[in-house]
């Protein structure tokens, strides 16, 4: 009997303790919590007077996607980030509670906060779309936070459904400062629609803008038989033994298939300069004045042996002979030094390959033509500004090369690329 009474007393005691722990009893001054709007949300500041049993601060609110958010932090920190917004908002409700070490919460305090536009939203507000050969330029001048992605779409004919559809072109990461990104789009009509969406760090669409009436300008490859590449500065390393020479720039081999079929590591069938070639150039004679659109430079793929680098001027580091800074000038008089006009330039980080693989020739062991055919070529393309001006001569100048291998660095400043293609305005 006595044991039964003791058990009952113990149970009632436990319930009494639980009732005492239902809510944490706190008293917080009104001015001890305040908010500062930031990009994509707000910062909640708090100043908890001590001594206190408060162990943590917790805030609950609904973000721009309608998702209930809960964030918390220690009482020993004085701020809490309330994120998840894109457009600027005012009077966003937030519920604030305090907890002790047993995670018992206080009665909620209800406040509101305001936000600033998110980085992706603000970035897209600073974007302009400009018409270009075979696509568009996305230009921006933005100095805020750089989290998020930008996706570019266009309205065109879906090859599978044969119906007009919204088609994906490409994406880019958000960057700070002035930037320019080319997006290749093969427009179907004379006037077209381009859609740009900015994603936040969680993958949600932060902002969308639409450009209508974008004109399409198409170019076509100029056959190699209709232009000639020469070396007026005498920069080309002409070596019949190693199969190095300027003639290989226009032989139609854009991946290194000739070398693969030949099978000899010390024979390259490619173009390479002599030492000290920063600022060197080749001259393209298009035989007549044309509207030039772009120039492409290709690399050749590595094969299954290390000899692709060991022999000749490459010194186990072909990649760092490839250009990362290219300028292309045009003129109608190749002998008039003052008459050259800058048509376009290409620049990418010399310390890492470009997103499409330009600057990295390694694609794994290649032993057969079938293996090579299965891999897309790697090239950089210098796309010119839209113009109806015609020129006969192009000067393709290399001002810098990659620098990705410090062990076998390109100390002699050789320049190499495998194939050169010229594109001009497409004739209807």
Strands of 68-74's sheet in order across: 68-74, 56-62, 92-99, 109-113
b/e per residue 230-242 (b: at least 16 CB within 10 A): ebeeebbbeeeeb
21-113 and 119-217 have identical folds: yes
Q: What local confidence, expressed as pLDDT, does residue 336 receive?
A: 93
More confident residue, 201 or 7: 201
**Which CATH superfamily hosts domain 119-217?**
SOR catalytic domain (2.60.40.730)
Which pTM does this prediction carry?
0.71
Q: Does residue 310 carry a pLDDT above 70?
A: no
pLDDT tens per residue, range 262-281: 988 888 999 999 999 999 99
- Distance, CA of 357 to CA of 352 (rounded, Å): 9
pLDDT tens digits along 91-103: 999 999 999 988 9
Query: In angstroms, rounded to a whole number, what is the distance separating the alpha carbons of residues 218 and 188?
Result: 10
Please determine, for residue 320, whether its predicted confidence score (pLDDT) is greater than 90. yes
According to CATH, the topology of domain 21-113 is: Immunoglobulin-like (2.60.40)
Furthest-apart CA atoms within the chain: distance in Å: 118
Residue 46: what pLDDT? 93
Domains in the chain: boundaries: 21-113, 119-217, 220-425
Instruction: Locate 217 and state its tokens.
Output: 């300008």
Report the relative pairing of strands 149-157 and 92-99 from DSSP bridges.
unpaired
Question: What is the average pLDDT score of the chain?
Answer: 90
The pLDDT of residue 1 is above 50: no
Residues 29-75 have pLDDT tens digits of: 888 999 999 999 999 999 887 777 888 999 999 999 999 999 999 88
Q: What is the pLDDT of residue 311?
A: 60
> Rounded to an integer, what distance in angstroms lies between the CA atom of residue 285 and that of residue 258?
25
Question: On the CB side of 426, how many CA atoms lie within 13 Å of its CA?
Answer: 10
What is the pLDDT at residue 282? 98
Q: What would the CATH number be for the domain defined by 220-425?
A: 2.60.120.260
State residue 313 phi and psi, 5-degree precision: -80, 0
The arithmetic mean of pLDDT across residues 145-166, rounded, is 92
Q: What is the pLDDT of residue 330?
A: 98
């Amino acid at each position: 009997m006595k044991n039964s009474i003791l058990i009952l007393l113990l149970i009632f005691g436990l319930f009494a303790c639980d009732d005492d722990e239902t809510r944490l009893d706190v008293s917080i001054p009104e001015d001890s919590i305040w908010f500062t709007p930031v990009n994509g949300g707000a910062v909640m500041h708090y100043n908890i007077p001590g001594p206190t049993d408060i162990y943590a601060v917790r805030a609950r609110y609904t973000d721009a996607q309608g998702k209930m958010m809960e964030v918390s932090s220690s009482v020993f920190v004085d701020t809490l980030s309330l994120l998840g917004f894109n457009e600027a908002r005012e009077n966003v409700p937030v519920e604030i509670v305090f907890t002790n070490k047993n995670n018992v919460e206080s009665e909620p305090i209800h406040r509101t906060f305001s936000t600033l536009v998110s980085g992706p939203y603000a970035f897209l507000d600073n974007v302009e779309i400009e018409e270009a050969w075979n696509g568009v330029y996305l230009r921006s001048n933005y100095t805020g936070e750089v989290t998020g992605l930008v996706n570019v779409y266009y309205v065109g004919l879906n090859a599978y459904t044969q119906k007009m559809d919204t088609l994906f072109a490409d994406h880019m990461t958000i960057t700070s400062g002035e930037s320019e990104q080319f997006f290749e789009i093969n427009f179907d009509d004379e006037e077209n629609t381009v859609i740009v969406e900015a994603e936040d760090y969680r993958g949600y669409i932060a902002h969308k803008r639409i450009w209508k009436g974008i004109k399409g300008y198409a170019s076509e490859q100029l056959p190699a038989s209709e232009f000639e590449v020469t070396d007026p500065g005498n920069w080309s390393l002409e070596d019949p033994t190693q199969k190095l020479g300027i003639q290989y720039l226009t032989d139609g081999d854009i991946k290194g298939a000739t070398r693969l079929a030949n099978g000899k590591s010390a024979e390259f069938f490619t173009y390479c300069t002599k030492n000290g070639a920063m600022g060197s150039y080749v001259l393209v004679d298009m035989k007549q004045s044309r509207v030039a659109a772009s120039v492409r430079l290709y690399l050749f793929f590595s094969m299954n042996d290390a000899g692709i680098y060991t022999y000749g001027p490459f010194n186990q580091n072909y990649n760092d002979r490839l250009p990362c800074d290219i300028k292309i000038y045009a003129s109608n008089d190749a002998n008039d030094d003052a008459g050259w006009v800058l048509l376009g330039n290409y620049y990418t980080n010399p310390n890492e390959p470009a997103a499409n693989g330009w600057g990295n020739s390694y694609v794994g062991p290649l032993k057969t033509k079938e293996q090579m055919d299965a891999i897309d070529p790697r090239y950089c393309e210098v796309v010119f500004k839209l113009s109806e001006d015609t020129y006969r001569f192009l000067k393709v100048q290399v001002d810098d090369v990659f620098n990705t291998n410090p062990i076998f660095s390109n100390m002699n400043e050789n320049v190499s690329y495998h194939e050169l293609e010229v594109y001009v305005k497409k004739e209807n």
